[in-house]
Structure 1
Amino acid sequence: MKMHILSGGKLRMNRGVYFPEAENGEKIDLPVNCVLFRHPAGNVLFDTGCHPSVVEDPEGRWGKMARAMWPIMDANDNLIAELARLQLTPDDIDVVINSHYHSDHCGCNEFFKKATFFVHEDEFAKVSEPDSIKFGYIPEDWKHPMSLNTINNQTDIFGDDRIVLLPLPGHTAGMTGAIANLDKSGSFLLASDAVSVRENLDRETIPKTTWNADVLMDSLNEIKRVEKSGATVICGHDPDQWLQLKKGIEFYD
């Protein structure tokens, strides 16, 4: 199995969301991670990044939320363009895993019309509430007719211990990571926004974009446990880690 780390866009946010000591108005530029697995049983995506339309009209897609996370990528910096560089189209994707339903993680869902989707049942319950848009859940991102599997516990996608979904709630009610076990490169924990930036894990600091701080702390402890077992933690948006990762046509195997 090969693992490609792909760009789902880039955002500018207030640094104080993640770093309590940040100056008022200080900004931080954050990569948006998506991951492609080339598994013998099919192509699997973990998250789909930002919708391409936010480059030209972020408020048209995101509304007021665009004032809190402003897209700073160009028209070629999105998951669909990244897949094309690997000579893949959305129809080549068999499975899509949504770590959660925030717009920078499921924005391109609509393109994967032949895929089967996985999301935690608590996440789906939250977006199904009548007022979910007030909490950053945009129907255009997640409300599509494709096949959907909801999970409520650790789930092995293909039953071979290669891609195992791991609930890590706290950032959202149904936040889910994935443990990928590769033959040569070892194990990786895709933490998504359970650990947006590495410093939150190391210092046990809770970002302002947190649904439940106590629940998130439990998830951070679980992530530390998995890391101690030998897994490499891939953060959802860490700019320093992003520079060190193999990306695009390069891969881990």
Structure 2
Amino acid sequence: MKLNFLPAGRLRMKKSIYVADAERSETIDLPVSSVLIRHKQGNVLFDTGCHSSVVADAEGRWGPLARVMKPMMLEDETLLPGLACTGLGPDDIDIVVNSHFHPDHCGCNQFFHKATILAQAKEIEAAKAPGADAAGYLKADWDYGQPIEPVNGEKDLFGDASLVLLPLPGHTPGTMGALVSLDRDGQFLLASDAVSLRQNLDADAAPRNTWNVEQQLKTFAEVRRIEKSGVTVICGNDDAQWQGLRKGADSYE
């Protein structure tokens, strides 16, 4: 099995959303990623990042949300060019796992016509609720008519413990991570926005954009428990960590 970290956008936001004592005018740049997992039973993408149209017209796609998270990437820094570097195209993807349905995590879902979408049942419910767009759920990003298979709790995707989906709620009702076990490079927990920045986990401090702080702190405790077993935690938006990862065609195995 192989794992590839793929660039899928870059955003600029107020740092105070993540760091409580930051100056209100201070900003932080956040990498957005997708992860390709190539298993003998199928090709999986964990998250699909930002839609390429937001490079030129973020407000046209995201509306007022574009004033909260400002795209800072070029079009070749979105998902499809990165995926092409691995020798694969959208039709080669069998499963898309969405950690949650915010638009920087499911923006390119529409391109994977042959894939089944997996998301936690609680996340699907939240995205369909009245007024969900005000909570950051934009139907134009998360729902393009592909089959969406609900996940309830933990799911061993291939039945061999190599890719296990884990509920990590708090950021949203159905935020989901993935525990990937590789033969050579060990285990990775793809935490997505359950741990946006490493300093949030280390300080046990939930960001301001957290749906439920109590659940988020329980998730932090669970992530620390997993990490103690030797697992590498991959944060959703930590630029320092992102810079140190192998990316594109350079895979982990």
Please give the range of the TM-score, normalised by the shorter of the 2 chains: over 0.9
Question: How far apart, in 2, do the equivalents of 1:24 and 1:151 lie?
Answer: 38
SS in 2 for 1:179: strand
SS in 1 for 2:202: helix
Q: Give, in angstroms, the shift of residue 24 of structure 1.
A: 1.4
SS in 2 for 1:52: coil
Q: Give, in angstroms, the shift of residue 146 of structure 1.
A: 1.2
- Residue matched to 1:161: 161
Q: Where does 1:1-20 land on structure 2 (aligned, <5 Å)? A: 1-20=1-20
- Residue matched to 1:208: 208
Alignment: residue pair count: 253
Q: Give, in angstroms, the shift of residue 130 of structure 1.
A: 2.2
Give per-residue Cα distances to partners, 1:189-247, cap 9 Å, x unaligned: 00000000000000101101100000000000000000001100000000000011111
**Structure 1 portions without partners, runs of 5+:** none
Give per-residue Cα distances to partners, 1:14-35, cap 9 Å, x unaligned: 0111111111110011100210
Amino acid at match of 1:116: T
Question: How far apart, in 1, do the equivalents of 2:224 and 2:189 lie?
Answer: 10
Q: Where does 1:1-253 land on structure 2 (aligned, <5 Å)? A: 1-253=1-253
Alignment TM-score, normalising by the size of structure 1:
0.99
Runs of 4+, deviation exceeding 6 Å: none
Q: Give, in angstroms, the shift of residue 81 of structure 1.
A: 1.0
Alpha-carbon RMSD = 0.6
Give per-residue Cα distances to partners, 1:140-188, cap 9 Å, x unaligned: 1111221221011110111110110000000000000000000010000
Question: How far apart, in 2, do the equivalents of 1:220 and 1:15 lie?
Answer: 20
Question: How far apart, in 2, do the equivalents of 1:196 and 1:39 lie?
Answer: 26
Alignment TM-score, normalising by the size of structure 2:
0.99
Give per-residue Cα distances to partners, 1:3-62, cap 9 Å, x unaligned: 000011000000111111111110011100210001111110000000000000000000
Q: Give, in angstroms, the shift of residue 84 of structure 1.
A: 1.3
Identity %: 51
